[in-house]
Amino acid sequence: MVYRRRNGPRDPILGLNEQFNADPNPAKVNLGVGVYFDDNGKLPLLACVRAAEHAMMEAPTARGYLPIDGIAAYDAAVKGLVFGADSEPVKSGRVATVQAIGGTGGLKVGADFLKHLNPNAKVLISDPSWENHRALFTNAGFLVETYPYYDAAKRGVNFEGMLAALNAAAAGTIVVLHACCHNPTGYDITAAQWDQVVAAVKARGLTAFLDMAYQGFGHGIREDGAAIGKFVAAGLSFFVSTSFSKSFSLYGERVGALSVLCENKEEADRVLSQLKIVIRTNYSNPPIHGGAVVAAVLGNPELRALWEKELGEMRVRIKQMRNLLVEKLKAAGVKQDMSFITSQIGMFSYSGLSKDQMVRLRNEFGVYGTDTGRMCVAALNSKNIDYVCASIAKV
């Protein structure tokens, strides 16, 4: 084969990581990543995961193929987390859930299925959104446009703009919504605003696709899933992708899922059969290990309680870093009011710093964030926060 097209663009975040790794500055800090680190700057291995893996090692099993839709206990656990184990949608059997290769895999299986279902639909993503949303839906064959989201002047969400865009969208348009902990801005809409979004989706006949990559990182597991309950209550059918990469610190195991809420069990069975075709023709069936770990933890009351405790500790540590950041920036001499950082939620902060300031932070101080001003608050710790604040004060 002769391939003459030019190189594809580098992933901006991974490119930043390469630059960080090559930087000889001993004080360097990587806030460009989308990963939670503990107070020692280490990627945690959760005790609940270790315990589940220990039990699995004690009783090793042969590795046959999984069913196309994954481990049944895993899919059931996902349904429980997303909709509530005793909820009407789960009890009536009208949720079709498949294990997927990370949250990305859940989005991609959903995108491919939607392309068959409604090939001419447009996809709307937030402006800005997680980098991969546009590429993923574009490569699935959709025309991708944006709805307004971030209002830099207001340091918050341009909700009027967002709602107006939804109300102007054609029937069948697929709207990708961050269920909680918006990446990259850190700004979520309020419960009352979700009500208005749900009403617009219903009135305009749009298809909601909720991306839930940070359940438990915002206010709590149930609280972060509240938007899902609103869509259910409105009687809508919709899509939810789940990622356990962050909430279980299982990034490399690629554990995620796609759930589709249908009108009834018969429709859910038909949808499941179609999702299985998408999976079968892509990668046949998912890998075992990560799904087995998550299913073991969620299915065991003690391990589940341990997971909830560990997830709560990650959530609280991020909040502490937000508070410290605001305090220490002030102490370092930053005149601007930075208290908006504590009104953001999840792993990220849109810091409001310009591209020039972000480049100076990187080149002069070895503090790495994206050019958009996004910083990963979950990569701050008690050892690096003073240096980061002093560096920000200097730019």
At its nearest, how many Å lie between ligand PLP and the CB of residue 110?
12
- Binding to ligand PLP, residues 305-334 (CB under 6 A): none
Candidates 101-109, 116-124, 198-206, 291-299; binding stretch for ligand PLP (CB under 6 A): 101-109
Is 286 a binding residue for ligand PLP by CB under 6 A? The answer is no
Tell me which residue of 306, 299, 239, 268 sits closest to 100, measured CA to CA: 239
* Interface with ligand PLP, residue 218, by CB under 6 A: no
DSSP string, 211-256: EES-TTTSS-HHHHTHHHHHHHHTT--EEEEEE-TTTTT-GGG-EE
391 binds ligand PLP (CB under 6 A): no
Nearest distance from C-beta of residue 104 to ligand PLP, angstroms: 3
The closest of 153, 164, 162, 163 to 129, measured between CA atoms, is 162
Nearest to 75 by CA among 64, 86, 67: 67
Q: Quick check: 104 binds ligand PLP (CB under 6 A)? A: yes
Write down the residue that tokens 């498949």 correspond to.
98
Q: How many CB atoms lie within 10 A of CB 240?
A: 29
- Dihedral sign of CA atoms 71, 259, 53, 223 in order: negative
Residues in binding contact with ligand PLP, number by CB under 6 A:
12
Site membership for ligand PLP, residue 179 (CB under 6 A): no
Active site residue 335: no
Q: Is 130 among the residues known to form the active site?
A: yes
Angle at the Cα of 221 from the Cα atoms of 220 and 223, rounded to 5 degrees: 60
Q: Tell whether residue 185 is a contact of ligand PLP (CB under 6 A).
A: no
Sign of CA dihedral 212, 317, 159, 192: positive
- Selected range binding ligand PLP among 17-25, 97-105, 326-334, 387-395, rule: CB under 6 A: 97-105
Residue from 32, 34, 89, 366 binding ligand PLP (CB under 6 A): 34
Check residue 173 for interaction with ligand PLP (CB under 6 A). no
The catalytic residue among 75, 115, 130, 224 is: 130
| Residue 346 lies near ligand PLP (rule: CB under 6 A) | no
Type of residue numbered 222: R
User: Segment near ligand PLP (CB under 6 A), from 53-61, 96-104, 113-121, 305-313?
Assistant: 96-104
**Of the two residues 215 and 384, which places its CB atom closer to ligand PLP in the complex?**
215
User: Is 103 near ligand PLP (CB under 6 A)?
Assistant: yes
Annotated catalytic residue: which of 69, 75, 112, 211? 211
For residue 93 the two structure tokens come to: 């059997």
Strands 238-243 and 207-212: parallel
Strands 156-157 and 207-212, sheet pairing: unpaired
Shortest distance (Å) from residue 345 CB to ligand PLP: 13
Q: Among this protein's residues, is 246 annotated catalytic? A: yes
Q: Is the dihedral of CA 152, 157, 163, 166 positive or negative?
A: positive
Q: Which of 69, 75, 211, 310 binds ligand PLP (CB under 6 A)?
A: 211
Among 179, 197, 213, 293, binds ligand PLP (CB under 6 A): 213
Say whether 18 sits in a helix, a strand or coil: helix
Residue 148: strand pairing partners:
127
By CB under 6 A, tell whether 224 contacts ligand PLP: no
Tokens linked to 332: 């370092």
Active site residue ranges: 130, 211, 246
List of residues contacting ligand PLP (CB under 6 A): 34, 102-104, 130, 178, 183, 211, 213, 243, 245, 256
